[in-house]
Structure 1
């Protein structure tokens, strides 16, 4: 009988690990009130993580995302914070720790897009893009690292873009900021290698979110046609990549750029 119960306990533990592999962990997802960030938050909750849904302005949308996350029987918190502001970032991490304990997963998703010729760009626009897309991940990462180092465990996942890999015409500032995210990822992975902390980037291709809202239906159809798999990506495609990198079993994957782009670039 004792052997039978040992087997059942082992089986249930294994089953729980496979269906909810992030059970009991705490994840901060920045810019999670809509689009890719929202899908990432829901995906991590589905995998068992307690989730902090960060937002800058739209509390109502953030609460809607949180409500979906709670359906997966996890604890969820919405926290307003401008993640390009150091004081706000400190408050975000302190609030997370007070409610759920130290964060073990950080997803630096918040960012902005910009389209236009470099010659038409102002210095203020350049600085704004670099602050949102590169300074914010630096601030958030720096804030969570002491907690992760103390536990000798952590998963940091930075959202970049295929234009950070290949560069995009009329998206010079955006491409430069996302290329910086990749460089930050690769360098920090080397620093954290012996601390049980992995640092990776996800570089999505053309994903059907608000960021493509400036394109016409004809342009979107052309993008889909140019993508080898024959469609635009979804926010869930990106969330799946993030979840893989967040897994405890992904401990040998660090300093890498995972690019869900449907074969658009290889």
Structure 2
């Protein structure tokens, strides 16, 4: 299927790791001009080279900390200077919010919300004029399975992701008049960097989702009907569809990419 990304411009926030990196790579292969936002300039440079080799006609390295309004404003100033408008904004950044209620300080809660939802607000606010200037435009947020299946050890993370879902729903209504479609994708258990140390110590590869699931399912109280973890690229393809021109009548949706589970 042609997703209609020819000559499109897309910014992926958090595009140097995990699901964000897989999404940026998917879009590069679709022929998108891709802007990648990240804090590590060396990793940004490596990512940019990979995206260019994968087929992106123009890759924009956007070094920024999205908890800084100054940095975020500068990111979208660079996008305007380079491209003039923006077809899709994709936010894949999640907060580092592990911990139970009794172990989390006020500062930890503030950081979870700043990283997990206020950063997305900053990006959407700064990107909005560019999205309105485009012929077609989309926003996609990445939430989490814990929004629908609560985990006591992820209370602040889940609260921030829940707020991000609320933001998604609100923007889908408020931006409908502009023709800007806004959706969210909720990944289930996906093999990203969180699992790498455990799997490495057990001699299991990051591309072996069945064995990884067999090792970790009980310890992490996971239930996946397909009997394996997902891979980042399997989430990326769903994000790409949500961000595409082909998606023309879906907005305000929250899509599970979970291999089947006990989501409500």
1:150, distance to aligned residue in structure 2 (A) = 3.4
CA distance in 2, matches of 1:91, 1:116: 33
Aligned residue among 95, 98, 104 for 1:115: 98
- SS of the aligned residue for 2:108 comes to helix
Structure with the bigger RCO (C-alpha within 8 Å, sep 6+) is 2
The structure with the largest helix share of the pair is 1
1:167, distance to aligned residue in structure 2 (A) = 1.9
Aligned residues: 248
Aligned residue among 17, 41, 45 for 1:59: 41
Question: Unmatched 5+ residue regions in structure 2?
Answer: 203-213
1:78, distance to aligned residue in structure 2 (A) = 0.9
Q: Once the two structures are superposed, what CA deviation does each residue of 1:107-149 show, in whole Å capped at 9, x if it has no partner?
A: 0112223222111111111101110001000000011112222
- Alignment pair present for 1:149 and 2:121: no
- Alignment pair present for 1:234 and 2:231: yes
8 Å Cα contact 2:182/2:251 also seen in 1: yes
Partner of 1:169: 152
CA distance in 1, matches of 2:241, 2:119: 23
TM-score, length basis structure 2: 0.88
CA distance in 1, matches of 2:135, 2:176: 10
TM-score, length basis structure 1: 0.87
CA distance in 1, matches of 2:119, 2:245: 25
Higher Cα radius of gyration: 1
Partner of 2:51: 69
Question: Unmatched 5+ residue regions in structure 1?
Answer: 1-17
Deviating 4+ runs (over 6 angstroms) = none
8 Å Cα contact 1:152/1:197 also seen in 2: no
1:213, distance to aligned residue in structure 2 (A) = 4.7
Structure 1 range deviating more: 31-40 or 112-121? 112-121
